């Protein structure tokens, strides 16, 4: 257990105590001092008065130190004040001059507590050094042993106790500051200085910008906008220093954290491929999953290598997609999934992770293609039989064309074919659902989930002439295009002979011709 030997009675400037282990602490009025500690003043303007437990006061001047050993603790000192410098120390330490030995200036020793003290006349101390210059008739100093001590020396007053106001004291309490977390979405630097003195201020320093100093609020809080009210980059070091009237303050530095997830985009292309790109330079990994044409889930994992750029993660189970199913750009990290790798209109999902562990997920559907269905071809074998439809030649038949998922709100589909040439405008709601498809005459030809219904010419003789009914659909502004055709059942012909007879049954005229079965 530490042995207390005194307390700080008065202090000016910065004074510290260093224990036997070398651990230092900043002292303030009322702090206890312990045996073995060394009390140090930090500069020539610093000073401390120690009230020892033995009843004595010890003064430590600027750039001095005092070791609190056994001798100091019991108040031992030379019995003789050898010279004027000792008298000066006694005066400044507040000692009773009547207790000084007569050898101090040849006077008679006084009895304890009585007498006129030594006969020194007027004593002058003109030498500098660590002691203040004194030129005063010591008889007018007053009782140095009183609670107030020397109230006036040469017209300069100074408090010798803790109740005389602020005169002679310098605030040595070092203010601290607590910063609120700062991340890359923050546009203000905020925090608090606990128990602030009046006029306490904080200075906020951000690299590359002019420091900003503001006063704290009465409760110690403060708020400083970031430059241009823009979020700071992750890793930026923000330094905040509190300052009181005495200039004391302990700075605090904190880095800007990254809380913004990376951005990942999945873009279906008109050629059926899908591009996956992470647009955050901090992204370090992208994980992709999709469904192949066999209905199996495949995965692709790419990671950023500090020296090699983006590479495929070959850890077992991380990348199951076969070679050739995708391409990787090592510079940008873009992954391109081939058209043949994905099953049409199935989900493709990508997850990007940045260096701070933030993640973002994106999803799209694998591009599908136009499908064209001739509605009269019930069995879908590419031929319309007489049993499926025996419409008159020149009548209109119908076909249904699917709407590819690449079509956006306002996209136009151009349909051209046998007896048809028109544009159809797709309309979608905010969720991407098709609400209508309008032809150039203002008719809504959208038949629900199946697509759009168009009409084309029905002609049995197309097949006889070696032709078929053809329809081509193209998504305007893209390369997405599909063509389909249908044939008609081959129509048989029979030779028929026409004979004209008179009323007696005689042949007047005879003619042969072929008719359709």
- The per-residue pLDDT for 146 is 42
Q: How would you class 253 by CB atoms within 10 Å of its CB: exposed for 0-12, middle for 13-18, buried for 19 or more? A: exposed
Cβ–Cβ < 8 Å for 220, 175: no
Cβ–Cβ < 8 Å for 67, 73: no
* 364 closest CA partner among 430, 291, 426, 310: 291
- For residues 429 and 283, give the distance between their C-alpha atoms in angstroms, rounded to a whole number: 33
Identical fold between 178-256 and 264-366: yes
* 13 closest CA partner among 39, 37, 43: 43
Within 8 A by CB and 6+ apart from 283, the residues are 262, 264, 304, 333, 352, 353, 354
Answering whether pTM is above 0.85, one says no
CATH topology for 178-256 is: Immunoglobulin-like (2.60.40)
- The per-residue pLDDT for 95 is 62
Residues in the chain: 517
- The per-residue pLDDT for 497 is 66
285-to-165, 259, 298, 305, 510 alpha-carbon distances in Å: 65, 16, 17, 10, 89
CATH topology for 264-366 is: Immunoglobulin-like (2.60.40)
Within 8 A by CB and 6+ apart from 239, the residues are 204, 205, 206, 251, 252, 253
Beta strand ranges found along 307-411 (DSSP E):
309-312, 326-328, 335-337, 347-354, 359-365, 372-374, 383-384, 396-401
Which tokens belong to 506?
């005689």
Question: Rounded to 5, what percent of the chain is helix, strand, coil?
Answer: 5, 40, 55
Q: How would you class 335 by CB atoms within 10 Å of its CB: exposed for 0-12, middle for 13-18, buried for 19 or more? A: buried
pLDDT tens, residue order, the chain (517 aa): 688 999 999 988 888 888 888 788 889 999 999 999 999 887 777 889 999 988 888 898 888 888 888 877 776 543 333 344 555 565 566 665 555 544 444 444 433 344 433 333 334 344 333 434 434 444 444 444 444 444 444 444 444 444 444 444 555 578 899 999 999 999 999 999 999 988 899 999 999 999 999 999 999 999 999 999 999 999 999 999 999 888 889 999 999 999 999 999 999 988 889 999 987 678 999 999 999 999 999 999 999 998 889 999 999 999 999 989 999 999 999 999 999 999 988 999 999 999 899 999 999 999 888 889 998 888 888 888 877 775 565 667 889 999 998 899 999 999 998 889 999 999 999 988 999 999 999 999 998 877 999 988 766 555 555 567 889 999 998 888 889 988 877 655 555 666 677 777 777 777 765 555 4
SS3 per residue for 19-69 = CCCCCEEECCCCCEEECCCEEEECCCCCEEEEEECCCCEEEECCCCEEECC
* 42 closest CA partner among 18, 19, 21: 18
**Which residues are paired to 314 by β-bridges?**
none
Give me the residue spans of the domains in the chain.
Answer: 4-74, 178-256, 264-366, 372-489
What string of DSSP letters covers 278-305?
Answer: E--TTEEEEEEEEE-TTS-EEEEEEEEE
CATH topology for 372-489 is: Immunoglobulin-like (2.60.40)
Cα dihedral angle (309, 354, 182, 226), rounded to 10 degrees? 50
* 332 closest CA partner among 381, 279, 398, 390: 279
- For residues 182 and 203, give the distance between their C-alpha atoms in angstroms, rounded to a whole number: 16
């Amino acid at each position: 257990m530490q042995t207390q030997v005194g307390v700080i009675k008065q202090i000016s400037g910065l004074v510290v105590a260093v224990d036997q282990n070398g651990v230092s602490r900043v002292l303030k009025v009322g702090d206890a001092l312990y045996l073995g500690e060394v009390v140090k003043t930090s500069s020539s303007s610093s000073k401390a008065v120690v009230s020892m437990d033995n009843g004595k006061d010890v003064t430590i001047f600027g750039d001095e130190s005092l070791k609190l050993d056994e001798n100091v603790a019991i108040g031992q000192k030379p019995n003789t004040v050898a010279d004027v410098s000792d008298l000066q120390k006694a005066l400044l330490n507040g000692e009773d001059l009547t207790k000084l030995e007569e050898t101090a200036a040849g006077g008679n020793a006084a009895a304890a507590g009585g007498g006129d003290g030594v006969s020194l006349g007027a004593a002058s101390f003109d030498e500098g050094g660590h002691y203040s210059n004194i030129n005063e008739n010591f008889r007018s100093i007053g009782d140095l042993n009183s609670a107030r001590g020397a109230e006036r020396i040469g017209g300069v007053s100074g408090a010798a106790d803790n109740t005389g106001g602020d005169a002679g004291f310098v605030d040595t309490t070092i203010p601290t500051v607590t910063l609120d977390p700062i991340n890359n979405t923050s546009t203000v630097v905020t925090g608090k200085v606990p128990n602030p003195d009046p006029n306490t201020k904080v200075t906020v320093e951000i690299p590359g910008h002019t420091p900003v100093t503001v006063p704290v609020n009465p409760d110690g809080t403060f708020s400083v906008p970031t430059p241009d009210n823009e979020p700071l980059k992750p890793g930026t070091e923000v330094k905040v220093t509190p300052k009181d009237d005495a200039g004391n303050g302990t700075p605090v530095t904190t880095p800007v954290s990254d809380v913004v997830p990376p951005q990942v985009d999945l873009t279906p292309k008109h050629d059926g491929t899908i591009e996956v790109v992470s647009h955050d330079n901090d992204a370090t990994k992208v994980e992709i999953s999709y469904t192949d044409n066999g209905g199996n889930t495949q995965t692709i994992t790419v990671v950023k290598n500090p020296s090699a750029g983006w590479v495929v993660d070959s850890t077992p189970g991380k990348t199951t997609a076969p070679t050739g199913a995708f391409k990787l750009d090592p510079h940008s990290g873009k992954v391109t999934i081939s058209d043949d790798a994905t099953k049409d209109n199935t989900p493709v999902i990508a997850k990007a992770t940045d260096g701070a562990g933030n993640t973002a997920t994106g999803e799209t559907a694998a591009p599908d293609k136009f499908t064209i269905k001739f509605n009269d071809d019930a069995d879908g074998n590419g031929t319309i039989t007489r049993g499926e439809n025996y419409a008159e030649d020149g009548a209109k038949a119908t076909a249904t064309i699917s709407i590819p998922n690449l079509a956006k709100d306002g996209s136009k589909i151009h349909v051209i074919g046998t007896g048809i040439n028109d544009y159809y405008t797709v309309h979608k709601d905010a969720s991407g659902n098709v609400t209508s498809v309008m032809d150039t005459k203002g008719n809504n030809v959208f038949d629900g989930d199946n697509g759009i219904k168009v009409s084309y010419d029905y002609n049995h003789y197309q097949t006889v002439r070696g032709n078929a009914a053809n329809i081509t659909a193209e998504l305007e502004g893209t390369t997405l295009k599909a063509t389909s055709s249908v044939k008609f059942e081959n129509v048989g012909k029979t030779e028929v002979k026409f004979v004209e007879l008179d009323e007696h049954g005689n042949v007047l005229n005879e003619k042969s011709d072929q008719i359709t079965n």
